[in-house]
Structure 1
Amino acid sequence: MTETAYPRVLVVGGGSVGLLTTALLTHHGVPAVLVERRSGPSVHPRATGIGARTVEILRELGLDAAVDAVAVDLRGKAGKAVARTVVEMGAGDVVTVPMPTPAADEFDVTPFRLRGVCAQDRLDAVVAADLARRGADLRWSTRLVGITQDASGVDVELEGPEGRSALRCAHVVAADGTHSTVRTALGVGITGPGDLGKSMINILFRADLRPHLRGTSFATCTITTPEAPGLLATVDGEENWVFHVACDVDAGERPEDFTPERCAAIVRTAVGDPGLDVEVRSVLSWRPRSAAAEKFAVGRVFLVGDAAHTVSPLGAFGLNTGVADAHNLAWKLAAVHHGEAGTGLLDTYAREREPVAAATLDQAMRRAADPALHWGRGPEADAARAAAGVWAAPVVHLGQRYDSAAVVDPRPAPPSTVDLAAALDGSPGSRVPHAWVDGVSTLDLVASRWTLLVGTEGERWLTAAAEVGLPAHRVDVPWLSAHGAMLVRPDGIVAMRTTTATPDPARFLTEVLDRVLARPVPVPST
């Protein structure tokens, strides 16, 4: 067994969250190794809904345009459709729910939106290609087979194409899925209801459905024919699709019974064309699940994505919550590795992300109990959501807040679970509000670094920022007073907001940074 030493971060898992964790660490200047048991990025899309916060993170990495280019343009199209078969849908026998159209104020809360849905395999291909261009250390066909840690590092044992090797690193990020090897090795249990509903089979197939669709476009379509009921989801809207069908375990069915030949027959029936040319590319079994790890961090090891929480699918919260985990953690690991923060900063990862994950799981479960609460439109649907405690989906994605030592005087509860603009009001712990400043978004001004935003009369703050080495920008916005200042973290979260200038603003900023970064307080000389 060969031995190698690697002083930074090991990322376990090469799905979307693992790839983006590696991309964010690389972006922050932290060398990272990614290990994944598969031979490359998955070709099988597991999710297609990329939320607004994930798009903002992709924008931070400079990947938003590349991901938008591989997304399916569904502007003005159906978000959800219901039809007996695809053939009958194309003939006009279909019920559709439009893609959610943001209210006018929602267009004002984020600088960029994807034009439609982007299948997870396409997202992964973009991120993996960018990492390869940057020379990232991606070790495919490699699995973790052992892990131990001590006060100064983590020792892992890996098994890859060239045999076994031992590696020592400073920290490990486990993004290795629902049945996480790392979580199990750490002895971390899970809480929550667990498996929900029936076992499902996800059929990835290639077939040209355009002649049958006759120009119809949709994100998902519920097929109701009794012979092959299921959910058809767009991958490219033309020739690549996934079809989800139930595996009736009670009737004696097993996932292995769904051979490529049987799956092709199911697809033909669902489409309504017995002679359809179908190529079954991949078949996966899955089951809706709602669960969370009992803790998201153990010593120098951190759980992200499905290793930390598995979210039931309605609402498209699962992938996006995992990406937000990575975004929260990466800059903190970077600050510690670069000597800019004390190790106590890493304690705020679990403190911040565990409550957000719990709230997200709760919101997904409330939708699962009654899907109309998610898809319904109009005043009656709004009233039903309010009665059921269901937040507006954009608030789940963008409006949640942090309460930890890395925020000064946090306001953990959003003032509105319906109005996203009201939730993003600049309170400490919330995502900095988006506003255009000379054609540049405030989110872009942050640019992955500590940033000070000051009011229109904030000259003293600008001078103080220069003294302590902080980038600073004057902004004329309603959520910041003329003499006030807002300190924004590298992840775009408001760390501090004040309405007035202090007697010594440079000292004040230094003390705030020392506090939120858990930096040791110098002992005065005697």
Structure 2
Amino acid sequence: MTETAYPEVLVVGGGSVGLLTAALLVHHGVRAALVERRAGPSVHPRATGIGPRTVEVLCELGLDAAVDAVAVDLRGSAGKAVARTVVEMGAGDVVTVPMPVPSTTELDVTPFRLRGVCAQDRLDAVVADDLARRGADLRWSTRLVGLAQDADGVDVELDGPDGRYSVRCGYLVAADGAHSTVRTALGIGTSGAGDLGKSMINILFRADLRPHLRGMSFATCTITTPDAPGLLVTVDGETNWVFHVDAGERPEDFTPERCAAVVRTAVGDPDLDVEVRSVLPWRPRSALADHFTEGRVFLVGDAAHTVSPLGAFGLNTGVADAHNLAWKLAAVHHGEAGAALLDTYAQEREPVAAATVDQAMRRQSDPALHWGRGPEADAARAAAGVWAAPVVHLGQRYDSAAVVDPRPELPSTVDLVLDGSPGSRVPHAWVDGVSTLDLVASRWTLLAGGHWLTAAAEVGLPAHRVAVPWLPEEGAVLVRPDGIVAMRTTTPSPDPARFLAGVLDQVLARTPVGTPGRG
């Protein structure tokens, strides 16, 4: 059969990035459907590092409190630990690195933080539940088996619980992972190092480790016993855990029984009651799609870029893709922008993703380049071309037609600089107790002083008076729905309403106007 009331956007892939893509589209008023071959959200955590920009996106969606509620509170705990076994760790034979405490400078950058780590399965459950409450079209146990596109839409063949059927949609977003079916069907190649290092086994298990930990808590612990070396990762800090081990020559030999024995050895308790919930073979990978768009199809997340794990950049880069794309699809769908706005997705995200893949790879050979602190670590990073992690997460800048006079060069790779430059994330500042990030509220917003506020009202722009060091009283910044500065002027305009209307026409690809005069 062929559906008649088809979705405007079809999202393929029900992992974190796919779910958040659907959530952002629904948030912007777009009729979207999501298809996923699994029967529901994954129960197997693949990542726990939710970065600051992703937390800001969750705040925008109103999901930050729900995600924080299922995060593990690790304040005052060890971020990283090293011990021979869990039993010996609890006995005090352990080396730890404390969880970092946000500095005053870091809190000046973003006020939104989780209290600890949140495993990806918990994040997915929160987003999926919220989508279901909103009546979103979630099609589990459904896989894409064919697609074709023309100038007006995309025809997709799906195989679901009731058999095969076809759907026509306006656009398709591929969030279907590193081995993307959509990317393969489109013939889009990849470049990069590919598979890295040894194959690994990710063991999700349930066991009460609290008696052995004796009050200790941590995000990750490197287990060094020669009989079962690996990385133990917190899921809930009590009874749910992940253990990563070398798969050796035959990953298929890791039966649930063998995995339970490996866990007991790593814990140091041969009588431990272990329930192996899931076993997932995996291998670190680094790859970048040759291009992120093909007609009406867009690649996001691992379908566009697979980021090696050190640095926790992978999931967060995918969420940034979704955040960049969703408002643009919505603007075109609602008739607020020309179709050329969609070209800026690849213009903006491809360079940022390439830089992120590169930064993760530079850390791959020496974890100290990421975790090290102090002057010696700073010098080592500089010599290796490694940027500070906050710069990777929050400091990268866009250069596209959706930004007036972009300034893509990074002022610093050591310190995060958010100064209101076009193409950068708008700086956080408190305005009557509300962050500028909240003032944007998923819409075009003017932050300004003086005569700009009246002009903004004339062209239908929400506007807020701000007094901040990075914006003179007579200046203004126009902020996109994704929190990116689209335009900054530091001087008054003789006709501010006309000026703002011209800027909006330009960045939304509505008319072929020239760049308005700027101060």
TM-score by length of 1: 0.97
Alignment correspondent of 1:335: 331
The match for 1:471 among 459, 462, 467 is 462
How far apart are the structure 2 equivalents of 1:511 and 1:7?
32
How far apart are the structure 2 equivalents of 1:520 and 1:413?
28
How far apart are the structure 2 equivalents of 1:386 and 1:103?
22
Alignment correspondent of 1:311: 307
How far apart are the structure 2 equivalents of 1:159 and 1:3?
14
After TM superposition, the structure 1 = structure 2 runs for residues 56-75 of structure 1, keeping only pairs within 5 Å, are 56-75=56-75
Alignment correspondent of 1:347: 343
The match for 1:405 among 382, 395, 401 is 401
Deviation at 1:7, TM superposition (A): 4.7
- Structure 1 counterpart of 2:286, which letter? S
How far apart are the structure 2 equivalents of 1:494 and 1:77?
37
Deviations 1:264-298 (A, max 9, x none): 00000000000000000000000000001000000
Deviation at 1:380, TM superposition (A): 1.3
Aligned residues: 514
Alignment correspondent of 1:366: 362
Is 1:47 the counterpart of 2:47 in the alignment? yes
Alignment correspondent of 2:11: 11
**Does structure 1 conserve the Cα–Cα contact (< 8 Å) formed by 2:287 and 2:306?**
yes
Alignment correspondent of 1:234: 234
The match for 1:504 among 495, 503, 507 is 495
Is 1:392 the counterpart of 2:388 in the alignment? yes
How far apart are the structure 2 equivalents of 1:62 and 1:408?
30
Is 1:425 the counterpart of 2:419 in the alignment? yes
How far apart are the structure 1 equivalents of 2:374 and 2:79?
16
Alignment correspondent of 2:246: 246
Alignment correspondent of 1:286: 282
**Does structure 2 conserve the Cα–Cα contact (< 8 Å) formed by 1:41 and 1:125?**
yes
Is 1:206 the counterpart of 2:200 in the alignment? no
> What SS does the aligned partner of 2:104 have?
coil
> What SS does the aligned partner of 1:158 have?
strand
Deviations 1:29-68 (A, max 9, x none): 0010000000000000000000000000000000001100
Deviation at 1:417, TM superposition (A): 1.4
After TM superposition, the structure 1 = structure 2 runs for residues 240-279 of structure 1, keeping only pairs within 5 Å, are 240-249=240-249, 253=250, 255-279=251-275
> What SS does the aligned partner of 1:222 have?
strand
Deviates more, 1:425-434 or 1:104-113: 104-113
Structure 1: gaps (5+ residues): none
How far apart are the structure 1 equivalents of 2:7 and 2:201?
41
How far apart are the structure 2 equivalents of 1:393 and 1:91?
33
**Does structure 1 conserve the Cα–Cα contact (< 8 Å) formed by 2:87 and 2:267?**
yes
- Structure 2 counterpart of 1:281, which letter? R
How far apart are the structure 2 equivalents of 1:521 and 1:365?
41
> What SS does the aligned partner of 2:410 have?
coil
Deviation at 1:320, TM superposition (A): 0.3
Deviation at 1:203, TM superposition (A): 0.1
Alignment correspondent of 2:142: 142
How far apart are the structure 1 equivalents of 2:260 and 2:206?
10
TM-score by length of 2: 0.98
After TM superposition, the structure 1 = structure 2 runs for residues 480-491 of structure 1, keeping only pairs within 5 Å, are 480-491=471-482
How far apart are the structure 2 equivalents of 1:90 and 1:396?
35
Deviations 1:122-160 (A, max 9, x none): 000000000000000000000000000000100000000
> What SS does the aligned partner of 1:285 have?
strand
How far apart are the structure 1 equivalents of 2:345 and 2:378?
33
Alignment correspondent of 1:301: 297
Cα distance change, pair 138–472 in 1 and its aligned pair in 2 (3 A) = same
- Structure 2 counterpart of 1:33, which letter? A
- Structure 2 counterpart of 1:150, which letter? D
Deviation at 1:100, TM superposition (A): 2.5
- Structure 2 counterpart of 1:60, which letter? E
Is 1:440 the counterpart of 2:434 in the alignment? yes
Deviation at 1:2, TM superposition (A): 4.5
Alignment correspondent of 2:26: 26
How far apart are the structure 1 equivalents of 2:423 and 2:154?
31
How far apart are the structure 2 equivalents of 1:315 and 1:493?
23
Deviation at 1:111, TM superposition (A): 1.7
Structure 2: gaps (5+ residues): 514-519
> What SS does the aligned partner of 1:495 have?
strand
What do you get for the CA RMSD once the two structures are aligned?
Answer: 1.1
How far apart are the structure 1 equivalents of 2:457 and 2:317?
35
How far apart are the structure 2 equivalents of 1:107 and 1:521?
41
- Structure 2 counterpart of 1:243, which letter? F
> What SS does the aligned partner of 2:122 have?
helix
Alignment correspondent of 2:223: 223
> What SS does the aligned partner of 1:324 have?
helix
Deviation at 1:520, TM superposition (A): 2.6
- Seq. identity, %: 86
Deviation at 1:25, TM superposition (A): 0.1
How far apart are the structure 2 equivalents of 1:390 and 1:78?
24
> What SS does the aligned partner of 2:443 have?
coil
Alignment correspondent of 1:324: 320
The match for 1:378 among 354, 370, 374 is 374
How far apart are the structure 2 equivalents of 1:425 and 1:367?
27
- Structure 1 counterpart of 2:441, which letter? A
> What SS does the aligned partner of 1:165 have?
strand
How far apart are the structure 1 equivalents of 2:506 and 2:70?
42
**Does structure 2 conserve the Cα–Cα contact (< 8 Å) formed by 1:97 and 1:375?**
no
Deviates more, 1:159-168 or 1:99-108: 99-108
How far apart are the structure 1 equivalents of 2:209 and 2:413?
40
Deviation at 1:5, TM superposition (A): 4.5
> What SS does the aligned partner of 1:105 have?
helix
How far apart are the structure 2 equivalents of 1:385 and 1:198?
25
**Does structure 2 conserve the Cα–Cα contact (< 8 Å) formed by 1:5 and 1:167?**
no
Alignment correspondent of 1:112: 112
Alignment correspondent of 1:514: 505
**Does structure 2 conserve the Cα–Cα contact (< 8 Å) formed by 1:202 and 1:243?**
yes
- Structure 1 counterpart of 2:304, which letter? A
- Structure 2 counterpart of 1:191, which letter? S
How far apart are the structure 1 equivalents of 2:48 and 2:491?
45
**Does structure 2 conserve the Cα–Cα contact (< 8 Å) formed by 1:426 and 1:494?**
yes
How far apart are the structure 1 equivalents of 2:261 and 2:366?
31
Alignment correspondent of 1:461: 452
How far apart are the structure 2 equivalents of 1:111 and 1:149?
43
- Structure 2 counterpart of 1:164, which letter? R
